[in-house]
Amino acid sequence: MRIDLIVRVPDTPDSGPTKANARAAEASSSLAADTAKLWTDHNRVAALSAKVNHLPEIRQEKVAALAKKVREGSYQTTPEQTAAAMIGHLVIAPLA
């Protein structure tokens, strides 16, 4: 049995403008006059962006504290926490 994945629709003669086409044209002409203002405080966004860009990627104090716990044997995690961290890394890493 063969399955044809390409569906061919026969050509139909154009019957001229329809009510749906007229409504779509009317809607698009009325939308052309609409405007949107997404954010008014551009300076604040720029300042926050600059602040984030200057933060260190690795927080050394946190790394040192975790390394100390690992050396002492007092760092405890559950299998669920480990799995969540691994999956989070796999999902987020490709996006970065």
The domains of the chain are located at 42-96
CA 37 to chain centre: 21
- The answer to whether 75 and 66 have CB atoms below 8 angstroms apart is yes
DSSP 78: -
Task: Check residue 39 and give its pLDDT.
Answer: 63
The reply to whether the predicted model has a pTM over 0.85 is no
Question: Does the pLDDT of residue 77 top 80, yes or no?
Answer: yes
